[in-house]
A = this chain, B = another copy of it.
């Protein structure tokens, strides 16, 4: 045995010995998967997550909130569903669903021509500007409901902004009847300037999917981004079957080379199995999504290389509702999505439901490749008692009574049974 062979065999023996002695997992988390017996959870830490966990995950953030100045709260006025924020000549612009009606929402059955059924009924698209993103100036009506009998004459809402070849496009839901299980396609209005004037395109540009399929009646929350040179409009679809049958809130996408369409639905729709209001944004050479509130993958950030096949990248807490981020690369389409650090969202003051007067708020975060703000990478978020005991989170009195009634039977049947 020559010297080299000898050294090699000693090294091999040492390696075998090292493998045979099972050491517990180290205190300092190795960045490479260690050669140790690992539980399923630790395999996932390396294979699905990131050994850096949330702190080293560019697609993890917590969210910190600030009330906005410039949006006075007035009786029967609601502001919600902000678009992405854009910056033009040093001024931030945002659009949103605005309702000012004679009374609060009265529910679908009691709605009239002047009494709104929901918070997003009898609404138009309004516009606000800001120099710093905290203090806003409400500029007023941007896109009014089109006249009867055009689609959308009852209410237009949940706008999404697109900038394409120096022109501005606002996509929005267009209702002829008070919301519920009624036909709702997406229309678009365009302008040469963020200050308008806005011109309605005569026809809806994204319509529901065919009869019997997942989005056959409503297309909610249109969210345009540009990816690989194409316009992608994401949306939440809803079938007429909702209410009677087993349906899920899911998100789909349609593609076009022209902001006025035609838009062609992805053959893989739905592309996200969860989520309520949509929020997609270019991230590196793919598309990321902030998926909130509903479904098995609620409160996650996901990423897709192709805009159609998403993977869960992180789990988030108390995400912004209906977020409209200031996302400078939203429409660049150059395969270098940089993310965002802030945006607007809405809050339903009464803890949710359709009978609210929603308000806009600002969120800050670090979902950006251009900053590194470690405070936003913290998890372990805790809440004060008011959070737990607010309406919708607290146990309601009627349910407490039911539970107390059932408790005795349950206890009798189940205690320490062997």
Contacts and interface: CB of A to CB of B under 8 A. Distances in A.
Interface of A: 22-29, 37-42, 44-45, 49-50, 52-55, 57, 64-67, 87, 132-134, 163, 209-210, 212-216, 239-242, 245-248, 250, 265-274, 276, 293-300, 302, 304, 308-311, 314-315, 317-318, 321, 328-329, 331-334, 338, 341-342, 347-353, 359, 361-362, 364, 370-371, 375, 379-396, 399-400, 403-404, 406-407, 410-411, 413-418
A324 to B, nearest CB: 16
A389 B68 CA distance: 11
A269 B39 contact: yes
A382 B387 CA distance: 11
Contacts of A380: 276, 293-294, 352
A319 B418 CA distance: 29
A141 to B, nearest CB: 26
- Which of A39, A271, A417 is packed against the most chain B CB atoms within 10 Å? A39
A213 B26 contact: yes
Contacts of A250: 41
Given A295-B53, A383-B387, A386-B386, A42 B239 contact: no
Nearest to A133: B407
Contact of A214 (B26, B87, B273): B26
Nearest to A24: B213
Contact of A27 (B67, B239, B382): B239
A21 B147 CA distance: 39
